[in-house]
Chains A and B, each alone.
Chain A
C-alpha cells in the first residue's frame, strides 16, 4: 500500500498565525490562555485561548473582503491558504478537501448574527471553502466530536489508499462561542484558571479557538522538513456512555493497540505520546489506565491544553502538528499546568521542555459519543 505523509502545515492561534511562531512561543514556555470576564459569552469568568475578531478581520482583509465571511471561515481560509501556498499543488480532481469541525458556524444561530441561518449548515461551510480556493472536488466534512481532528487524518489516508486522491488538504477549527461555553459550563467542567491536565489539583477544562491546516500526501516530492509518515491509525468506540469515558479506557486502549499493530511497532518503540488531557478527573484517569494497560506508562507524555485550551474539532490536528515540530526539533514540550501526579496510575508526564531524540510518536484523542482515535507517526528521512 502507498505510504502516506503529513507535510506543510499551519497553526492559526492566539500564539501566532503560523506554526513556526507558535512553536517558538511554546519553546519559550508561553501559553495562549487568558482569563476573560465577558458577560455576553458566559455569566461568570472563564479562562480560554481566544482570537480577537478584529485582529482576524484585519488579517483577512489583506487577502479578501472580510464582510462576506464569518469569523470561523476567515480563520480557516487564512490557515489553509498558507498551506496551499507553501505546497504549490495544482487543485484538480485528484486533490481532496476535508474540513474537521464540531460546531462550525454555530454562532450564526445567535439573534444578533448578521449572517443567514443557512450558514450554520456544515455543508455550506464546506462549499464556502471549496469555492474560495477553487477546489475541484466536493468538501468532506468530518464531525465526530473531539476526535474529529485526528480522525480527519485517518480519513485522508483512507481516501488516498482507495486511490480517490493523491493529496488531501485538511483544515480544522472551532470557535469559543456562547453556545459551547454554556454547554460545557452546564457540565460544571469549566475552569476560570489555567487548566492542569493530570495534576492533583486539577480544576477543569479551558476552551480555545484555533484553525489548523495540513497537507496529507502520498507523494514524497511534496514533503517539507517536519514531514512525518502515518504508520498506523484506528478509531474505537467505548460502547459504554455518551458523555463520560469508559472507566477502563476500553476504546482508547483498543484504538492504540490497533494503530500500533498496523504500524508494526511495540510500546517500547514509541518515543513520545501526545495525549488528550482535558484536565477533567474522568478523562485524565481513563487515559492513565489505558496507557498503563498498553505498557506506555514510561513513555514521555504531554497534554497541550495548557497552551491552547481544548480546541474541540481542531485539537487533534493542532496537537499532531505540534508533535511533528517536536520530532523535527528533537524537543519534548512540557505538559503545561502539571506539577504533581493526580491520577491513580503512574504516567510519565513531561515537566519541562526537554531535548530528546525523537523518531516515533503517538497521538490520541477521546470525545463525547465514546469515540477514541489513535495514530502512530514516524519521522521521515528526507
Chain B
C-alpha cells in the first residue's frame, strides 16, 4: 500500500527574491519587507484583496503557497491539500505589536485585527480560505528547518489517505528578517520525497 511520493514543485522567498522551482520569478529592490511583498504580490498578479489585511507572516506564507498552488488547476469547490508549516519565531512579530498596544494604561489600545494574528497557524487559515482547503493543517515550531519532521508527517498523511497532496515547509518572520521555503508533495513528480532531497532544495537558494 506504500505509494512512491514525490516533490512536485517548490518555492523560496528570501533576500527580496521570489523563486519557483529554483527559477527567480520576482526580484525586488526594497529592503523593507512590507514594500517588497507588496511589489511581489503585484508582479505575480495575485488578485486577492484580503492580502492587505494580513500580517507579515501570513503575507509571506500566503504568497509562497500561491506561487505553487496557482499551477495546480484547483477546484473552486474544495481541495484536499494538507498544510504542514513550521518556523522559529512563531507569530512574535505581531505578538510584539500587540504587546506594545497594551504596555501602559495611558496608551492602551488592543485591536482585534492585530490580536487575531498572534497565532502562527492563522496563515494556514488564510491559505485554506483562498484555495478552499478543508484539510489537515498543523503548525510546528523548531529552532531550525527540520526536514525529518516534515518528511515523516507528510508521509503519514499521504500514506493513510488523509490528504491527496501536502504543502509543507518553513515560513519565518522575525524583526525584518524573513524566509519562506514551501514544497508540494504528491504521487507525481520528478524529485523523490525524502529528507536528503528536502534539505537539498531548502539549501538550493
Interface of A toward B, CB cutoff 8 Å: 43, 102-104, 106, 109-111, 120-124, 126-127, 138, 140-145, 151, 155, 158-159, 161-162, 164, 178-179, 182-187, 234-243, 250-251, 254, 258, 367-371
- Return the chain A residue nearest B157 by Cβ: A158
Residues in B whose Cβ lies below 8 Å from that of A367: 121
With contacts defined as CB atoms under 8 Å apart, how many contacts are there between chain A and chain B in the complex?
159
CB-based contact A145/B121 at 8 Å? yes
Is chain B's binding surface mostly helix, strand, loop or mixed?
A: mixed
The one of B125, B131, B142 that contacts A242, using a Cβ cutoff of 8 Å: B125
A122-B141, A183-B110, A258-B162 given; name 19 further pairs at CB < 8 Å.
A109-B99, A127-B143, A140-B142, A143-B90, A144-B139, A145-B122, A158-B153, A161-B160, A178-B102, A182-B110, A183-B98, A183-B112, A183-B115, A237-B83, A238-B128, A238-B134, A239-B133, A243-B112, A369-B121
Q: Is B95 an interface residue (CB 8 A)?
A: yes
Docked pose: A60 CA to B178 CA in angstroms = 38
CB-CB nearest 4 A-B residue pairs: A369-B125, A183-B115, A123-B143, A141-B141
Q: How far is the CB of A125 from chain B (nearest CB, A)?
A: 9
Is residue B52 within 8 Å, beta carbon to beta carbon, of the partner chain?
no
Cα A141 to Cα B121 with chains together (Å): 13
Residue of B126, B128, B129, B162 near A234 (CB, 8 A) is B162
13 interchain pairs, CB-CB under 8 A: A43-B105, A104-B90, A121-B143, A123-B88, A140-B140, A142-B139, A144-B124, A179-B118, A237-B125, A238-B125, A238-B128, A239-B133, A242-B116
- Interface residues of chain B, those whose CB is within 8 Å of chain A, are 78, 83, 88-90, 92, 95-96, 98-99, 101-103, 105, 108, 110-112, 115-116, 118-122, 124-126, 128-129, 131-143, 146, 149, 152-153, 155-157, 160, 162
| A contact residues around B143 at 8 Å (CB) | 121, 123-124, 126-127
Which chain B residues border A243 with CB–CB below 8 Å?
Answer: 112, 116
Q: Which residues of A contact B96 (CB under 8 A)?
A: 109
**Cβ–Cβ contact A187 & B115, under 8 A:** yes
Bound-state Cα–Cα, A186 to B117, Å:
13
> Is the pair B112, A187 in contact by a Cβ cutoff of 8 Å?
yes
**Within the complex, which residue of B90, B120, B138, B152 is in contact with A151, where a contact is CB–CB below 8 Å?**
B138
- Asked if B129 contacts A240 (CB within 8 A), the reply is yes
With the chains together, A158 CA to B131 CA distance in Å? Answer: 26
In the complex, the answer to whether A186 meets B110 with C-beta atoms within 8 Å is yes
Q: How far is the CB of B33 from chain A (nearest CB, A)?
A: 19
Complex Cα gap A293–B32 (Å): 48
CA distance A348 to B69 in the complex (A): 42
Name the residue on A nearest B108 (C-beta).
A43
Point out the residue from B95, B122, B153 that lies within 8 Å of A368, measured CB to CB: B122
Taking a contact as CB atoms under 8 Å apart, the answer to whether A162 and B152 are in contact is yes
Contact A236-B125, Cβ < 8 Å, known A120-B92, A143-B140, A164-B152: no
Contact status B137-A186, CB under 8 Å = no
B108 → A minimal CB distance (Å): 7
Does B140 contact A141, Cβ atoms closer than 8 Å?
A: yes
Do B90 and A145 have beta carbons less than 8 Å apart? no
Residues on the A chain within 8 Å of B128, using CB? 237-239, 370
Q: Chain A residues with Cβ under 8 A from B89's Cβ?
A: 121
Q: Min CB distance, B49 to chain A, in Å?
A: 14
Evaluate contact between B152 and A236: CB separation under 8 angstroms.
Answer: no
A162 touches B156 (CB 8 A): yes
With contact pairs A179-B95, A179-B99 given, residues A368 and B119 touching in the complex (Cβ less than 8 Å): yes
Residue from A111, A123, A127, A151 within 8 A of B103 (CB atoms): A111
Is A369 a contact partner of B119 (Cβ separation < 8 A)? Answer: yes
